[in-house]
Structure 1
Amino acid sequence: MKNISSIIKSLNNIEILIIDDDEATNFLTSYTFNELCINCNLHFELNAESALDFLDNCNEQLPDVILLDINLPGMNGWEFLNQYQKHNIASKKKIAIFMLSTSIFDTDKLKSKTYPEVIEYFEKPLNDEKIQIFKEVYFNVNSKSST
């Protein structure tokens, strides 16, 4: 597992970019985050091209986290990751990328590990259990809070 505690210090006011063309998934993801009382700002892009434009031209705060689908219209998630690297967005800010896909293929899970920006691969849907992993393991919610 990669340690991203240096990327994000807490769950307060996290900026999350969700790149997914499925409106139902986006609704469910938003609902799940809100139900678990995670204080975050969600921004949705329905395709990879508009997400890259958003990241390139972001005059506001860049996101802390990206939830990225693989199967997108036009440019897919893998092509997005390649363009993300070419655009050198990580030089502006380290962004933790989580793959969130319907793909259950081990090849996709393994491929995601070849991208240093990708922290974890989750199969859809994003549920309470996966959000707990998101919170506890990758954002160290429980570490140091009990000390």
Structure 2
Amino acid sequence: MESNPTFLLIEDNLIDQLVTKQLLKKILNIDQVFVANNGLEGLQWIIKNKNTRQDIIILLDIQMPTMNGFEFLEMFETLNTEVKKEIKIYVLSSTLDADEIKEIKKSSYVTDFLNKPFPIEELKRKLT
């Protein structure tokens, strides 16, 4: 993965969006974080930006309106292999549901599961 990947935050909660963006900027020195309010917006962003040829890290919430994180992962599977190989997905969720966590972890597209509140130091260790 490049030293300066593009970050896409797929999260419907405005406070979580603000906090996550600020932590990424402060701790990881990320200048720009793209935000999608649900999985559908996230997929549209990926399709629109698929030719940038830059590594992408997605921070994906699970519980969202319109298209939740599980639905996003199902649709992500249908994308071109070349697009998918440049993307790492970290699920960022406060779920305590063991079945949901099991389903998240069984997805071959999910790099890791991170509990909310956003564990920025844990993500920093995983990226270095």
Note whether the superposition's TM-score is higher than 0.5.
yes
Amino acid of the structure 2 residue aligned with 1:69: D
How much does 1:99 deviate? 0.5
Q: State the alpha-carbon separation in 2 of the partners of residues 65 and 80 from structure 1.
A: 15
Amino acid of the structure 2 residue aligned with 1:23: L
User: CA offsets, 1:16-36, max 9 Å, x none?
Assistant: 100011110000001112221
1:120 equivalent to 2:116? Answer no
Q: Count the aligned residue pairs.
A: 126
What runs of 5+ residues in structure 2 fail to find an aligned partner? Answer: none
What runs of 5+ residues in structure 1 fail to find an aligned partner? Answer: 1-7, 142-147
**Percent same amino acid among aligned pairs?**
26
- Whether contact under 8 Å (2:53, 2:86) holds in the other structure is no
Pick aligned residue for 2:59 from 46, 55, 67: 67
1:28 equivalent to 2:19? Answer yes
Partner in structure 2 of residue 131 of structure 1: 120
Q: State the alpha-carbon separation in 1 of the partners of residues 56 and 91 from structure 2.
A: 14
**Mapping 1:1-147, distance limit 5 Å:** 8-10=1-3, 13-58=4-49, 59-61=51-53, 64-88=56-80, 90-92=81-83, 93-126=85-118, 130-136=119-125, 138-139=126-127, 141=128
TM-score (norm 1): 0.76
Relative to 1, partners in 2 of residues 1:65 and 1:77: Cα closer, same or farther, differing over 3 Å?
A: same
Structure 1 residue ranges (4+ consecutive) displaced by more than 3 angstroms after TM superposition? 59-63
Q: State the alpha-carbon separation in 1 of the partners of residues 15 and 39 from structure 2.
A: 18
